[in-house]
Structure 1
Amino acid sequence: MLRSALTALLLAAPYVHATALTSMLGANEKSCYYADVDGVGEKVGFYFAVQSGGTFDVDYTVMDPDDRVLLTGKNERQGDYIFTANKIGEYSFCFENEGSSADKLLDFDIMVESEPRRQLSAQQPALKEHTSTLEESTYKLSGLLSSVIRTQKYFHTRHHRNYSTVLSTQSRIFWFTVLESAMIIAMSLIQIWVLRTFFSKGSKRYSA
């Protein structure tokens, strides 16, 4: 009976197909990605985060198969959205980096989830009880796992942003040091030239 309950629970589990990508978005560039939805009412999850580049922001637009805008945002650093697909077809997820001179590293997920209906015989009350208990436990574990995944994504994004900030700071310090050294050398050469010119003129006046 337990095996039958587990089998029914697996059949009742939602079918999910997802795409996790990391992409470099160039300056003044627009990039679009697509996901197919096979049934009305399916859940579509969309997550993105700018890992590095510029001020860590990007413009995004999500459209349905009829090119109707579902989600849009300007200068967003990250986002996590779930919506219900009301039409069958290809949904587009576009990122824009127009007006920026910096390349940006994007990390994003596109998830499409369908939930097939479980069919159980009315003559199996015990099986229904076992299935309901296991189903509730599975949903709780799924919620906890989603929370852990979101926390991991948050720390992953913070790590990349902090690392990018450290690299940018190191680069600025290096070039500031080079400029400072060049100015010191230039000032030293100018002082030497001024002293040589002064003594050269003084010796000429004395000899005359």
Structure 2
Amino acid sequence: MILRHYLFAFLFFLTRFYYARATALTTLVAPNERLCFYADVDKAGEKIGFYFAVQSGGSFDIDFDVKDPNEHLILDGQRERQGDYVFTANVVGEYAFCFENDMSTIADKLVDFDIMVESEPRREAPAKQSQISDQTSALEESIFRLNNMLNGIKRTQKHFHTRENRGFSLVKSTQNRLFWYGVFESLGVIAIAVTQVYVLQTFFTKTGRRYKV
């Protein structure tokens, strides 16, 4: 019973403190707009995960850059549709994650992104018994493998979510184009019919006298 208690306590410790801080957001970037988001790093050596994907708008692309507290450029890209990066924070302070929509003049860009500040857990044995230590070590390895698998599933879900949003945006844009194409086509047919009637009327009109047919 005591062994089970220690195992559950150790399991809770790992799952609680492996990801120290995480932020998942969705933002709308207007044309010619620059938006920046910030994450604090408390100690040097922490890992930062940065993921983003353009869900809708234009060609599903956007410019981005990541800077450290000293304004040094860490990552940047132009006309990127999505990205998934992990880097080590060597400087303590506030890191800036910015999106810029300068390439578009009329289209808003809907961006889904995650900012994760990761801290490695301390591997401490919960008890002095060798049997418990061996079992917790095996349990720790299993937890890390499960964590990697869950991260893979999470990224796959994000990928399918992005594809779904882009497909829906494309279908909606196509529907709008077909609607306006139908409207302009109808107006064109009406305009041609009116023009034909006018031409026929003027064709059978001569020196002010109208002939009926």
What amino acid is the match of 1:95?
F
Pick one of 156, 164, 170 that aligns with 2:169: 164
- SS of the residue aligned with 1:118? coil
Pick closer, same or farther for the CA change 1:165–1:205 going to 2, 3 Å. Answer: closer
- Aligned counterpart, 1:187: 192
User: Are the aligned partners of 1:61 and 1:69 in contact in 2 as well (CA < 8 Å)?
Assistant: yes
User: What is the number of equivalent residue pairs in this alignment?
Assistant: 206
Displaced runs of 4 or more, over 4 A = none
- Aligned counterpart, 2:4: 2
Any unmatched runs of 5+ in structure 1? none
What amino acid is the match of 1:6?
F
What amino acid is the match of 1:150?
R
User: Are the aligned partners of 2:44 and 2:92 in contact in 1 as well (CA < 8 Å)?
Assistant: yes
Aligned-partner Cα distance in 1 for 2:210–2:5: 112
Q: In the TM superposition, what is the alpha-carbon distance from 1:5 to its structure 2 partner? A: 3.0
Aligned-partner Cα distance in 1 for 2:185–2:114: 45
Q: In the TM superposition, what is the alpha-carbon distance from 1:198 to its structure 2 partner? A: 1.2
- Aligned counterpart, 1:204: 209
Aligned-partner Cα distance in 1 for 2:155–2:93: 28
Any unmatched runs of 5+ in structure 2? none
User: Are the aligned partners of 1:11 and 1:118 in contact in 2 as well (CA < 8 Å)?
Assistant: no
1:53-132 matched pairs, under 5 angstroms: 53-101=57-105, 102-120=107-125, 123-132=128-137
Q: TM-score, structure 2 length as denominator?
A: 0.90
What amino acid is the match of 2:57?
G
- Per-residue deviation, residues 120-166 of structure 1 (Å, max 9, x unmatched): 37843222211111111111111111111111100100011011111
Aligned-partner Cα distance in 2 for 1:71–1:20: 19
- Greater CA deviation, 7-16 or 42-51? 7-16
1:114-153 matched pairs, under 5 angstroms: 114-120=119-125, 123-153=128-158
Aligned-partner Cα distance in 2 for 1:119–1:136: 13
Aligned-partner Cα distance in 2 for 1:203–1:87: 91
Q: In the TM superposition, what is the alpha-carbon distance from 1:202 to its structure 2 partner? A: 7.8
What amino acid is the match of 2:168?
Y
Pick closer, same or farther for the CA change 1:201–1:39 going to 2, 3 Å. Answer: same
Q: TM-score, structure 1 length as denominator?
A: 0.93
User: Are the aligned partners of 1:2 and 1:130 in contact in 2 as well (CA < 8 Å)?
Assistant: no
- Aligned counterpart, 2:35: 31
Aligned-partner Cα distance in 2 for 1:51–1:62: 20
User: Are the aligned partners of 1:28 and 1:100 in contact in 2 as well (CA < 8 Å)?
Assistant: yes
Pick closer, same or farther for the CA change 1:19–1:79 going to 2, 3 Å. Answer: same
Pick closer, same or farther for the CA change 1:71–1:205 going to 2, 3 Å. Answer: closer
User: Are the aligned partners of 1:8 and 1:118 in contact in 2 as well (CA < 8 Å)?
Assistant: no
Pick closer, same or farther for the CA change 1:191–1:122 going to 2, 3 Å. Answer: closer
- Per-residue deviation, residues 80-111 of structure 1 (Å, max 9, x unmatched): 11111111111110000013121100000001
Aligned-partner Cα distance in 1 for 2:163–2:32: 24
